[in-house]
Amino acid sequence: MKNCQHVEEISTSTMSAAVITGLLLLCLHTSAAGAEVAAPHNLAMVTVNTNYVLTWGWDQSAAEGHSVTFTTQYVAKYKLRSTKKKVTWSMACEEKPDRSCDLTDFDLHYLGIYVLRVRANLNGNHSDWVQKEFCPDKEAALGPPRKVTLALAGFDLDVNISDPLTRNNSSMREEVEKLYYHIVYWDSSTDPQASDAQLVSSSANLVTLPHLKPWTLYCVMVQTRSDFYNKSSSFTSPQCMKTEGAIPWWQIFLYFLASLLVCFLLVLVAVFGFYRTYKTIKSTFCPTNQLPPLFKTYICDSPGSDIPRLLTPDSESELLCDKVIICPEPVLEIHSPLSCRSIN
């Protein structure tokens, strides 16, 4: 009887050991299967204002020629502290081949704190989740002003600055309360990195630059800043404009002389043109070449008349002429040997 009991105990122990061994092997197999897919690494955020993109790296050699996809989820950090409710993660990118996920359209609150997680998917298997904490107010970079314009204000320059915008095209002042600008300006003939470059800090959108030299070309760059988390944007591209100033008396005198000279030349050209026109008209309709007096006697009514006698006084009369031969009067000449005298 005791032998039977001993055999039964041995059989029971053997079966229990086999079950435990099987369970251990199953757990080890499951763990090994899960470890086959490499997890993403080097999670980082690329941000500007309220535009957020999560990026990561992954060892492509682990895919062994197969296509790999990635799944990205996020949740507010305060929800992870609750032990009563099951945490529900929001899906951002599901099984996408890209190694980045754009979170801009999910309207993450600027002052909130979020936990982001990513895993790789390969041949129906999944890697472990890799998490990253993200606080936009602390980590999101500030963008430069949306637009900067310059305008003359008397002898000074006005700088008009447009605030950087959120994804909803509203001002970033709604998210960053103490937003202000660094305005750097300098004479364009010098290097902006030189010591004579001047800096003005202002939270206003319209700033007048002081201490400017007249008739000088100045260039301006603007940077967005916030001191709470020591944030600063890149500078805008330089914009340049020339200042004005009082005109010196000698320059006014030169302008006056130049205007007089121009007026004189215009009057001279006008008079010369009028004279040439007058001469042309007169020579055309009243020529200066006159007929000789002898011709005027025969073709005009009277010697003092300039009207040609185109018709005779009596247009119906005819002038009849006979041919007349005029002979000289004979002269009698007597010749004497002593003297010679003509007697008429």
DSSP letters of 30-89?
HHHHHTTSPPPEEEEEEEETTEEEEEEE--GGGGTT---EEEEEEEEHHHHT-SSS---P
Could you tell me the pLDDT band of residue 9, with boundaries at 50, 70 and 90?
Answer: very low
Top-confidence residue, 244 or 295: 244
Using an 8 Å Cβ cutoff, are 243 and 216 in contact? yes
Given a cut of 60, whether residue 13 has pLDDT beyond it is no
Q: What is the pLDDT of residue 11?
A: 42
Secondary structure of residue 286 in the 3-state scheme: coil
Out of 7-21, 44-58, 215-229, 299-313, least confident range: 7-21
Could you tell me the pLDDT band of residue 71, with boundaries at 50, 70 and 90?
Answer: very high
Q: What is the pLDDT of residue 84?
A: 78
Q: What is the pLDDT of residue 27?
A: 46
Out of 15-29, 135-149, 152-166, 199-213, least confident range: 15-29
Q: Name the architecture of domain 35-139.
A: Sandwich (2.60)
Using an 8 Å Cβ cutoff, are 207 and 215 in contact? no
> Across residues 302-315, what is the average pLDDT?
52
Top-confidence residue, 344 or 257: 257
Using an 8 Å Cβ cutoff, are 167 and 191 in contact? no
Using an 8 Å Cβ cutoff, are 181 and 201 in contact? yes
Distance CA 150, CA 267 (A): 43
Q: What is the pLDDT of residue 14?
A: 47
Tokens 């990561």 map to which residue?
Answer: 56
Q: What is the pLDDT of residue 65?
A: 74
Q: What is the pLDDT of residue 307?
A: 52
Distance CA 97, CA 246 (A): 66
The number of beta carbons lying within 10 Å of the beta carbon of residue 121 is 18
Could you tell me the pLDDT band of residue 91, with boundaries at 50, 70 and 90?
Answer: very high
Q: Is the pTM of this model over 0.75?
A: no
**Alpha-helical runs (H) found in the chain:** 2-34, 77-80, 136-139, 249-285, 293-299
Superfamily of domain 147-242 in the CATH hierarchy: Immunoglobulins (2.60.40.10)
